[in-house]
Structure formats: C-alpha cells, structure tokens
Amino acid sequence: MKVILVGYGRMGKMIEELLAARGDVEILGAVSPGLYESPWDVPGKPDALIDFSYPGNLETTLARAEDAASAVILGTTGLTAEQVERVGAAARRVPVVFDANFSLGVAVLRKALAQVGPLLLKCGFDAEIVETHHNRKADAPSGTAKALLCAIDPAGDYAPVYGREGLVGARGREIGVHAVRGGTVAGEHRALFFGEDETLEFRHFAASRRIFAAGAVRALDFAVGRAPGLYRVDDVLGLNDIRGGENP
C-alpha cells in the first residue's frame, strides 16, 4: 500500500513509525512545512491518505484522494459543519474512515453510552462530560467529547452547556461539557451521571497517542480496496455487528 501522511507532528510521526515496521506499506511522503506543502506535491499514486492534521488541510486531502480514487483515514477534529458535509460528499466517491477518536476503548465507550445514557436520562439522572488534554490542543471541547454527547443524547433533547460561570441558577434540561487543558495529557474523557444518592462514572484514559496511531493503521487496512462510503472506527472494529444497539 502506498500512503501519503498529511501532517507530520507527533501523531504523524507515530503513524509513520508503526507503518515502517511493516513490509507491505510504502510512505510516499509527508505533508508538513519543510517537507511537501500539499498532497498534490507528493509524487506517485497513493492507495490512501492519512490525515490527522488541522482543518485547513481538509480540502486538498479530499481532492487528492478523489483524484487518485484512494482511501482516506481522517482524524482531524474541529471541522465546521460545511467541512463535515464535504467529507460526506467525498465518501460518495471514495472510502473514508472519519472519526474523532481512533482508539478501541473510546469506540466501545461510545457504544456503551449510546445504550446507557438515554436510559439514565429517562430515569431522571443529570449528565456531565469532562475531557482533559495536553496544553497544546487547539480545539475545545474535544471531538471525542462531542461524540460522547451525541451518544448520550442522540436526539439533542438536552441543551449542551460549555462550562458555567456566575449565578446560573438551578440546573435545567442540559448536559454540561467541560474542557481541561494542561501538561502532556494524551486524553481523558469522563461521562458522569448523577441521580438521587447515587453516581455512575464512565472513564477512558489514554496513556499515550500510540493507541490512536494503532487505530489509524487498523483503519488503513480496513479502508484500502473497500467500496466508497463513510465509515467510523466502529465499522473498522466490527462493533456494529455486536448486538446491543446502534451508534447515535
């Protein structure tokens, strides 16, 4: 498989490290300042583009993939609604694995919350989401936190409240979403449910970015040669074949 890496920061280098250990993958080049300026500048015909960079690279990544009929592994967060629509349009022409988080644990957590969250809300529990990331993360709240919010409340019946300040009064029909930034934390996500005299907490902690890089490599194997479509990590891992409900 011939691969173009879009973004050559910590994630890009970790993905490169995992791919370099394989004999069936050739990295055609990496798009980053000082290397290739655009996917169009990378020579050769790619089988896939892996993009964990920033929203500004999205259009050239998708256009290059459409031109080469190659797969896209997309882990960029902070996209606008229009950019998400653009991803969907590209997925009608090429296979795209697009997700906010490529770890196995988060995929399972999201599926569990899709079952448990609506039930607890129906029973009168209050829900809060707290996410923690390193001090260099650009967007807040994280894409994963937004995905967990969607799992808990797929119909959007509860208003998201992004932090609280001042005399906010009694809690309404809402779900609080809170972003914490500091140090080198790879990622922690907590979903908390508060009832009468009892609390449930679901937590995922990432010890390093390697779990996300490993998920991207697994998605690469899944996507290359597959029919066009918009896929998630759940599809890569076969979680949608497990009984117990669908993704939000």
Catalytic residue among 2, 13, 134, 137: 137
The reply to whether 133 belongs to the active site is: yes
**Tokens in use for 75?**
């882990």
DSSP state of 36: B
Looking at residue 47, what DSSP letter applies? Answer: S
Establish whether 137 is a catalytic residue. Answer: yes
Distance CA 134, CA 136 (A): 6
∠ CA 130-156-146, nearest 5°, is 35
Residues 6+ positions from 26 with CB-CB distance below 8 Å: 1, 2, 3
Give the relative orientation of helices 58-68 and 81-90 as an angle to the nearest 10 degrees: 10
Q: Write out the two tokens for 196.
A: 């009468």
Q: Are strands 187-195 and 198-206 parallel, antiparallel or unpaired?
A: antiparallel
Residue of 111, 133, 189, 204 marked catalytic: 133
Residues with catalytic function: 133, 137
